[in-house]
Structure 1
Amino acid sequence: MIAYIKGALKFKTTESAIVDVNGVGYELFIPLSTFCNLPDEGGLVDLYVHTQLKEDAIQLYGFLTPEEKAAFQLLISVTGVGPKLARNILSGIPVADLVNAIGSSDKARLSTIPGIGAKSAERLILELKDKVKNLSKTGVKEAEPRLKDTLSNDIISALENLGYKVAQAEEAVRKARALLPQSPFEAIFKEALKFLSRKQA
């Protein structure tokens, strides 16, 4: 069973990445939080891996931090939550926020995650409230954001000038660039504004 992988990043999308390890390419399904922090293609990457065994296949899920992997494994232990939904949940909320929302029984916050309705939020709280305490005790670490490039910084500065906080702007830009990875300033800026507007609605 593969638990960790290190190699050259050959290809990436918002849903998966291919890592070359000594000439063998491994495809890993990834959450958006991992995608946003991957290096450029050709760069070295190391990922924590959950191996999902199916009747006809073996699927690998990759994460930048062990805490993110642990959260994923907790999520798939919940009734009705499979690997795809668990990955979508981690794409829609940082691990620290997920732990806090479940620990505080914040059904409203959980219900804002795409694919999670009121009943699913209740189930997450019911089945994981005690379990996330162990995760929070280990100290949840978020992947360091890679928003060091000039384009991202320019958009973040523009959003700050409109009155948004740095954390809000960074989150919006990460999501916008994930959707529009090759787009120019104007398109990413507009997409980031749409995201911020939806959050305030």
Structure 2
Amino acid sequence: MIAYLTGTIIERSSNELILLVGGVGYRLNCSMNTLAMLPSNNETAELYTKLVVREDSMELYGFASKDEKNIFNMLTGVTGIGPKTAIAILGTMTLKDLKTAIAMNDTVSLSRAPGIGKKTAQRICLELRDKISDELLLSSDEDINNGFEVMPQSMRDAKSEALVALKTLGYTQIEASNAIKAVIKNHGAENLTADEFIRYALKSMGGM
């Protein structure tokens, strides 16, 4: 089984590349995020790989990190999700956002991936939420709450109220969290009320 390759990138497209290893060119299917992280053509790259064998084909998939490969394996274990769809999902959002979406049952964000409808997004959350390790869930929670833990209780309450209000207005957990972070970065958190959090957040997202 081919699990890891180091070689020279000799060609690439929007969803794959050819890696020259020991005189042999390996065609690797990759997510857009992985391709964006790799060096230019004719430079050395290292990728984790997964060989998918079917009755009529053998395809090799490449990943910039072991974490991405692990999530790929989880996604392809979901009913109705093949390797091509899994790669498309991985290219739609960052790993942090993807893990957060699954942990928070954010089907709206997941449905933005090509070929993923609401029912499929719900199935991904249902089948993967408990399979994602405690470490992945913790990292997602820490990412969402980064910078909030040092706030006074009144500020945390205002932030939480604003998050709920933004989600009620139709924004996803990720969108609402990022907007609140932007408010804190641009306006600070001291003495901000929930209404002010909401107003500034909506303005940052173009909602006002």
Per the normalisation by structure 2, the TM-score is 0.65
Instruction: Report the Cα offset of residue 139 of structure 1.
Output: 5.7
- Local SS of the residue matching 2:126: helix
Aligned Cα RMSD in Å? 2.3
The residue aligned with 1:39 is 39
Retained in 2: the 8 A contact 1:30–1:61? yes
Distance 1:68 1:115 in 2: 19
**3-state secondary structure, aligned to 1:127:** helix
Matched, 1:104 2:104: yes
Question: Unaligned 5+ residue runs, structure 1?
Answer: 141-164, 166-198
Write the mapping of 1:38-57 to structure 2, written as runs, cut at 5 A.
Answer: 38-57=38-57
Gaps of 5+ in 2: 141-178, 180-204
- Corresponding residue for residue 67 of structure 1: 67
Give the conservation status (yes or no) of the 8 Å contact 1:103–1:133: no
Contact residue 10 and residue 42 of structure 2 kept, 8 A: yes
Distance in 2 between the 1:134 and 1:104 partners?
14
Query: What SS does structure 2 have at the residue aligned with 1:132?
Result: coil
Contact 1:4 1:47 in 2 (8 A): yes
Q: 2:47 aligns to what SS in structure 1?
A: strand
Residues 56-114 of structure 1 deviation map (CA, whole Å, 9 limit, x = unaligned): 32210000000000010100000000000000000101111111111111112212222
Secondary structure class of the residue paired with 1:28: strand
Shift in alpha-carbon separation, 1:134–1:11, aligned structure 2, 3 A = farther
Contact 1:10 1:42 in 2 (8 A): yes
Task: Tell me the CA shift for residue 133 of structure 1.
Answer: 3.0
Q: 1:9, 1:20 within 8 Å by CA — same for their partners in 2?
A: yes
Aligned to 1:11: 11
The structure 1 segments of at least 4 consecutive aligned residues displaced by more than 4 Å after TM superposition are 137-140
- Structure 1 pair 27/200, CA: closer, same or farther in 2 (3 Å)? farther
Note if contact 2:99-2:137 (Cα within 8 Å) is conserved in structure 1. no
Q: Which amino acid aligns with 2:99?
A: V
For residues 1-201 of structure 1, the aligned pairs below 5 Å read 1-134=1-134, 136=136
| Stretch deviating more after TM superposition (130-139 or 60-69) | 130-139
For residue 138 of structure 1, report the CA deviation from its aligned partner. Answer: 9.0
Query: For the residues of structure 2 that align with 1:66 and 1:138, how far apart are their CA atoms?
Result: 18
**TM-score, normalised with respect to structure 1:** 0.67
Name the CA distance, whole Å, in 2 between partners of 1:139 and 1:81: 25
Aligned residues: 145
- Provide Cα deviations, 1:112-134, integer angstroms capped at 9, x if missing partner: 22221110111001100111234
Relative distance call for 1:59 and 1:23 in structure 2 (3 A) is same
Take 2:13 and 2:55, find their aligned partners in 1: how far apart are those partners?
26
Give, as a single letter, the amino acid of the residue that structure 2 aligns with 1:124.
Answer: I
Q: How far, CA to CA, are the matches of 2:114 and 2:41 in structure 1?
A: 28
Q: Of the two structures, which has the highest relative contact order with CA contacts closer than 8 Å and spacing of 6 or more?
A: 1
Residue 113 of structure 1 aligns to a residue whose secondary structure is: coil
Q: Distance in 1 between matches of 2:59 and 2:134?
A: 27
Q: Percent identity?
A: 38
